[in-house]
Amino acid sequence: MAKKLKVALLAIAVISLIIGLTACAGAPAPVDKSKAELVTYVPETKVKKAYQVLNDGMYVLEGVVRTEDGQLADCDIEEINTMLVWGNFASNKITKDEMAKLGEDNMFTALFKGHGTAVPTQFAKYVQVGDIVFTASADANGQIIYTSDTTGEVVSYFTKSEDNIALFFKEMRFGNYWLLKKVDKGYEKFEIASFFQDIPGATLEKSKSQNKKYCKHWDNWVPNIYKIETFFKTNGFIPGNFKQGADGTWAVADVVTGATIAEFEGYAGILYKANSK
């Protein structure tokens, strides 16, 4: 009898041990509160943009400034041709064959000053940006203008609001711009070779062909823009006047930038404008 009792007690002890071990295995490990959690620091990033019109509306300009914790991290300048350039048969190198296919009814002649004296110049009579159709006409001085029912005269539309220029940039970056051929009561989109080339004639996607950072506007344009961007990335937005030295090099508050571009004040100014927002 005593032997049976021992066996029973031993069995109970074994079962209790198994239950205890099982309970311990299922319990969560104790938390060591002495170890602090590691937190990855993420700087506060802001992207600020500014826009303006250049050269009587031939171009529109964008300045972008990115800051991290209030400190300049990056900046960028971009300039895009408006239809005063890409709707201009001389500027966009439209061929005689392309002109013949477009047809005389879809052409308009008006004075165009460009960077020199105003001369009679042929333009596409109808162009489209995004969903908006613009029609060419002449102002009181005989100079080319483009208008639409939505915007009115396009350069005035740009000057009314930076948002209007920002929208133009967006559509141009998507390649949403065309010459138009009037067909009955509507229009047919008309593409030309120069919309898919850089200025020297090499293949370039349409969304970049009117952007001066890609289309090789003139040999020294991009190097000058990079010098301006690099200057601010290195020195920040120091207060002071812009001055051009006898050798043509610009300085800000007597700190030399290395840039010699004639429109320096506009390009540097757009970054100051963006940074101030």
186: its two tokens: 């509507």
- Residues 104, 49: one domain? no
Distance CA 225, CA 241 (A): 19
Domain assignment present for 204? no
- Residues 175, 233: one domain? no
Domain assignment present for 209? no
The contacts of residue 149 (CB under 8 Å, 6+ apart) are none
Q: Which residues pair with 124 in a beta bridge?
A: 107
- Residues 141, 223: one domain? no
- Residues 101, 177: one domain? yes
pLDDT in tens, 116-156: 899 999 999 999 999 999 999 999 999 999 999 999 999 99
For residue 9, what pLDDT is reported? 46
Distance CA 29, CA 18 (A): 19
Domain assignment present for 25? no
- Residues 76, 87: one domain? no
* Residue listed under structure tokens 């050269």: 55
- Residues 124, 69: one domain? no
Distance CA 54, CA 210 (A): 15
pLDDT in tens, 69-126: 889 999 999 999 999 999 999 988 899 999 999 999 999 999 999 988 999 999 999 9
Host H or E run for residue 45: strand 45-54
- Residues 173, 241: one domain? no
- Residues 140, 101: one domain? yes
Residue type at position 260: T
Domain assignment present for 185? yes
Task: Summarize the confidence of residues 170-198 as an average pLDDT.
Answer: 96
Task: Summarize the confidence of residues 49-77 as an average pLDDT.
Answer: 95
Distance CA 23, CA 59 (A): 76
The full DSSP string for 223-248 is: HHHHHHHHHHHHH-S--S-EEE-TTS
Q: Which residues pair with 187 in a beta bridge?
A: 182
Distance CA 89, CA 216 (A): 18
The contacts of residue 141 (CB under 8 Å, 6+ apart) are 111
**Worst-scoring range by mean pLDDT, 24-28, 30-34, 46-50, 183-187?**
24-28
Q: How sure is the predictor about 5, in pLDDT bands with cuts at 50, 70 and 90?
A: very low
Distance CA 19, CA 66 (A): 62
**Does residue 31 contact residue 236 with C-beta atoms inside 8 Å?**
no
- Residues 252, 228: one domain? yes
* Predicted confidence (pLDDT) at residue 235 exceeds the cutoff of 80: yes
What is the rounded average pLDDT for all residues in the chain?
A: 89
What is the CB neighbour count within 10 angstroms for residue 273?
18
* Predicted confidence (pLDDT) at residue 229 exceeds the cutoff of 90: yes
- Residues 103, 182: one domain? yes
* Predicted confidence (pLDDT) at residue 3 exceeds the cutoff of 60: no
For residue 8, what pLDDT is reported? 47
For residue 7, what pLDDT is reported? 46
What is the domain-level CATH number for residue 238? 3.90.1010
- Inter-CA distances, 208 with 86, 194, 196, 211, 212, Å: 13, 11, 8, 5, 8
pTM over 0.85: no
Query: How many structural domains does the chain have?
Result: 2
Domain assignment present for 246? yes
Domain containing residue 241: 42-81+218-277
CA dihedral 223, 82, 168, 221 (to 10 degrees): 0
* Predicted confidence (pLDDT) at residue 37 exceeds the cutoff of 80: no
- Residues 130, 184: one domain? yes
Domain boundary pick from 166, 199, 232: 199
Distance CA 20, CA 18 (A): 5
> Among residues 183, 181, 209, which one has the least CA distance to residue 195?
209
- Residues 111, 159: one domain? yes
